[in-house]
Copies of this chain bind each other. A is one copy, B any other.
Amino acid sequence: MRSQTDSAGGLRHLVTLDGLPRSLLTAILDRAESYRRIPGQPAYEGRELAAITVANLFFEPSTRTRASFDLAARRLGAHVLNLDLQSSSRVKGETMLDTIYTLEAMNTDVFVIRDSEAGMPEFLIDHVAPHVSVISAGEAHLSHPTQGLLDVMTIRTHKRRFEGLKVAIVGDIKHSRVARSTARALATLGTTDLRIVGPQRLLPGEHEFPGATRFTRIEDGIAAADVVMMLRIQKERMAEAAALDGEAYFREYGLTAKRLALAADDAIVMHPGPMNRGVEIDSAVADGPRSVIREQVNNGVAVRMAVLAAIAATLTRHRRPL
């Protein structure tokens, strides 16, 4: 895969957090904080993406992430194309490239792509023009870089440090692109105590998540944790979790107030959404004083604005003259 940064170190693409230096991540988070407006404040409106066209290619349904990217781009002045496309498995290779080249020829500058299969974002990076960028909005179980960034942005706001932090991620780690990207961001920023927690069959292969400690009992995994991040458990994984139904899963792994009391006194509770209340998390915890779940959503828009603005600044250097 081609580099995600240009020779000046500017962000060109964002399909994985692997290999991106701490300084770049920190710069994105700093920029995101300048864009963040909490609900009730008027949203930031800027022109950083003026004359930029962003095409959202979502091969997987997504209301939340698409709305987040859509608003992020429009609030910075971009034109956004939301394209209805068939499942990427039916348009692989040449046909997909012709679609991309067609959109490039219409002066599309940024492709935001979400796909339940692996490989398309990297394939695109290797084929787009020098003045075009690719952002992954979720790729199979592998990568969801803007989610990883919004998670560490949320942690930074509350914890002001990454070194020495104890972070527990609980749930279906094996199939989770969120867990992978967040773990990567945490590692880059200096967190060394990462716990991955879930039923044995939902834990990842042993070579994945290097340095993380594995737990199959949630009580052990979240003990003294500063951050407890719950993942969505999907119905089709219930059997793999050896839980016959949501209630059984909740009894073994659901985050309740009682379990949360095992974590640090000032632990924050995170969830990438959408939540299954009563399955992986109790409503009282989801809506409780420790929950920063809505802040994550709020930071998501800010992080996507920051990524888009950073990419637009890089593209400016690769523009052809008029």
Residues of B close to A94: CB separation below 8 A: 277, 283
- What's the dominant secondary structure at chain A's contact region? mixed
In the bound complex, what is the Cα–Cα distance between A99 and B83 (angstroms)?
Answer: 22
Q: CB distance B81 to A70 under 8 Å?
A: yes
Q: Taking the complex as formed, is A37 at the interface, i.e. its CB lies under 8 A from any CB of chain B?
A: yes
Given contacts A106-B71, A297-B106, A301-B107, contact A319 B42 (CB under 8 A): yes
Contact mask for chain A residues 59-99; partner B; CB cutoff 8 A; 1 contact, 0 none: 00001100110110011000101011100000000110011
Within 8 A of B (CB), among A103-132: 103-107, 129-132
Within 8 A of B (CB), among A29-81: 37-45, 50-53, 63-64, 67-68, 70-71, 74-75, 79, 81
Residues of B close to A283: CB separation below 8 A: 94
The listed residue (B37, B51, B81, B320) touching A40 by CB distance below 8 A is B320
Q: Taking the complex as formed, is A273 at the interface, i.e. its CB lies under 8 A from any CB of chain B?
A: yes
Q: Taking the complex as formed, is A298 at the interface, i.e. its CB lies under 8 A from any CB of chain B?
A: yes
The listed residue (B38, B75, B106) touching A301 by CB distance below 8 A is B106
The chain B residue sitting closest to A278, CB to CB, is B94
Contact mask for chain A residues 237-267; partner B; CB cutoff 8 A; 1 contact, 0 none: 0000000000000000000000000000000
The chain B residue sitting closest to A79, CB to CB, is B74
Q: CB distance B101 to A294 under 8 Å?
A: yes
Q: Taking the complex as formed, is A19 at the interface, i.e. its CB lies under 8 A from any CB of chain B?
A: no
In the bound complex, what is the Cα–Cα distance between A298 and B105 (angstroms)?
Answer: 5
The listed residue (B52, B95, B99, B107) touching A298 by CB distance below 8 A is B107
Q: Taking the complex as formed, is A274 at the interface, i.e. its CB lies under 8 A from any CB of chain B?
A: yes
Q: Taking the complex as formed, is A295 at the interface, i.e. its CB lies under 8 A from any CB of chain B?
A: yes
Q: CB distance B297 to A40 under 8 Å?
A: no
Q: Taking the complex as formed, is A102 at the interface, i.e. its CB lies under 8 A from any CB of chain B?
A: yes
Residues of B close to A52: CB separation below 8 A: 42
Chain B nearest Cβ from A132, distance in angstroms: 8
Q: CB distance B41 to A322 under 8 Å?
A: yes
Residues of B close to A106: CB separation below 8 A: 67-68, 71, 297-298, 300-301
Can you show 26 pairs from A to B with CB atoms below 8 A apart? A38-B320, A39-B104, A39-B107, A39-B129, A40-B130, A40-B131, A40-B318, A40-B319, A41-B107, A41-B320, A41-B322, A43-B51, A43-B53, A53-B71, A63-B99, A67-B81, A68-B106, A70-B81, A71-B79, A71-B81, A74-B79, A75-B79, A104-B294, A105-B295, A105-B298, A106-B298
User: Top 3 nearest A-B pairs by Cβ distance?
Assistant: A105-B297, A40-B320, A40-B131
Apart from A63-B84, A70-B81, A98-B274: 5 A-B pairs, beta carbons within 8 A:
A37-B322, A42-B107, A43-B51, A63-B85, A105-B295
